Amino acid sequence: MSFTLTGRRGGAVALPAVLLATLTACGGGDDSASGEAKTRLTVLAASSLTDVFATAGAAYEKEHPGTRVTFSFAGSQELAAQVGQGAPADALVTADTRTMDGLAADTGRPTVIAKNRLVIATAEGNPGKVERLADLADPALKVVLAAPEVPVGRYGRQILDAQKIDVKPVSQEPNVRAVLSKVELGEADAGLVYRTDAAAATDKVDAIDIPDAQNAIASYPAATLKSSENSKAAAAFVSWLSTPEAQKILRGAGFQKP
């Protein structure tokens, strides 16, 4: 099953139904009941923002009662593909600047709204006794990483290569949440995820810190999409992400200052 629309570059674009299923509205209720006109924003956002943007979106809607914010979460490379295919959306937030820079023709000027770092996520109790990055090379361990085209996968390979650690993952996942899920379900002994993702699952996984000298910093740029039919509202939301209130929400979830 697919949904067909007219792409930005012309022609019909078939989008998988699963893309539609990922659209999550922050608000609730029937708009028509109040008779109040609503501005509806669709924000494409990196998977690692799933939890914090649920909180941020609700806060934004409270401040802007005439606006409804809907998020579509996926790996940054998937979001870029959606933008290229002309998926209807108003703003984009990726987990790296490289992906955003590659979409310069499609976006407004990006602003970095947060930063993040990697940790080693292990099954609760750390049964594999993982203590450091080098332990991930143990062939007895089932290690899962994100695919190299995914920001967190690229960051992971970057830090492993820098330390000359040869890891042969049992799988390479399409986004950081899929990596975390493999560890949570016991399908992997360990995986490299963002610190914020591990913090959101402390009842299911343990997190092993990676020293700053061996780590990588992930930057999260946000930008409006030139194809947006709500350009002013989209710009207002992107600007709000840098306000003290939004930054407090991001810090509370473990994200670092931009």
Mean pLDDT of 47-59: 97
182 with 158, same domain: the answer is yes
Tell me if 38 is assigned to some domain: yes
Give the pLDDT confidence score for residue 14 in this predicted structure: 44
Give the pLDDT confidence score for residue 38 in this predicted structure: 87
94 with 120, same domain: the answer is no
Q: Where are the alpha helices (DSSP H) in 127-230?
A: 151-162, 176-184, 195-199
Residue 23 pLDDT class (50, 70, 90 cuts): low
Mean pLDDT of 128-152: 96
Mean pLDDT of 142-149: 96
208 with 247, same domain: the answer is no
**28, pLDDT greater than 70:** no
Instruction: Report which of 197, 185, 222 is spatially closest to residue 71, judged by C-alpha positions.
Output: 222
Q: Which helix (H) or strand (E) holds 234?
A: helix 231-240
Count of domains in the chain? 2
70 with 156, same domain: the answer is no
Give the pLDDT confidence score for residue 82 in this predicted structure: 96
245 with 165, same domain: the answer is no
The predicted-structure confidence for 54-109, as pLDDT tens digits, reads as follows: 999 999 999 999 999 999 999 999 999 999 999 999 999 999 999 999 999 999 99
Give the pLDDT confidence score for residue 51 in this predicted structure: 95
Tell me if 258 is assigned to some domain: no
29 with 77, same domain: the answer is yes
Instruction: Report which of 74, 45, 84, 63 is spatially closest to residue 223, judged by C-alpha positions.
Output: 45
Give the pLDDT confidence score for residue 63 in this predicted structure: 95
67 with 138, same domain: the answer is no
Give the pLDDT confidence score for residue 6 in this predicted structure: 36
Instruction: Report which of 227, 223, 194 is spatially closest to residue 7, judged by C-alpha positions.
Output: 227
22 with 110, same domain: the answer is yes
Q: The tokens of 28 are what? A: 């609730």
What's the CA gap between 66 and 49, in Å, rounded? 23
**31, pLDDT greater than 90:** no
Please state, in angstroms and as integers, the Cα–Cα distance from residue 37 to each residue in 33, 66, 71, 164, following that order.
11, 7, 20, 57
CATH code, domain with 140: 3.40.190.10
247 with 198, same domain: the answer is no
196 with 229, same domain: the answer is no
Which amino acid does the sequence have at 257?
K
Mean pLDDT of 8-36: 46
Q: Which residues contact 232 (CB under 8 A, 6 or more apart)?
A: none
- The boundaries of the domain holding residue 40 are 2-115+219-252
Give the pLDDT confidence score for residue 26 in this predicted structure: 60
Tell me if 257 is assigned to some domain: no
Residue 120 pLDDT class (50, 70, 90 cuts): very high
**5, pLDDT greater than 60:** no
> Tokens 């493999």, residue?
182
Give the pLDDT confidence score for residue 36 in this predicted structure: 58
The predicted-structure confidence for 187-230, as pLDDT tens digits, reads as follows: 999 999 999 999 999 899 999 999 999 999 999 999 999 999 99
The predicted-structure confidence for 231-250, as pLDDT tens digits, reads as follows: 999 999 999 999 999 999 99
pTM of the model: 0.84
223 with 213, same domain: the answer is no
Mean pLDDT across the chain, nearest whole number?
89
Q: Which residues contact 40 (CB under 8 A, 6 or more apart)?
A: 67, 68, 70, 230
Phi, psi of 223 (to 5 degrees): -155, 155
104 with 225, same domain: the answer is yes
Instruction: Report which of 187, 130, 201, 118 is spatially closest to residue 157, judged by C-alpha positions.
Output: 118
What percent of the chain has pLDDT above 70? 86
Mean pLDDT of 99-123: 97
**45, pLDDT greater than 80:** yes
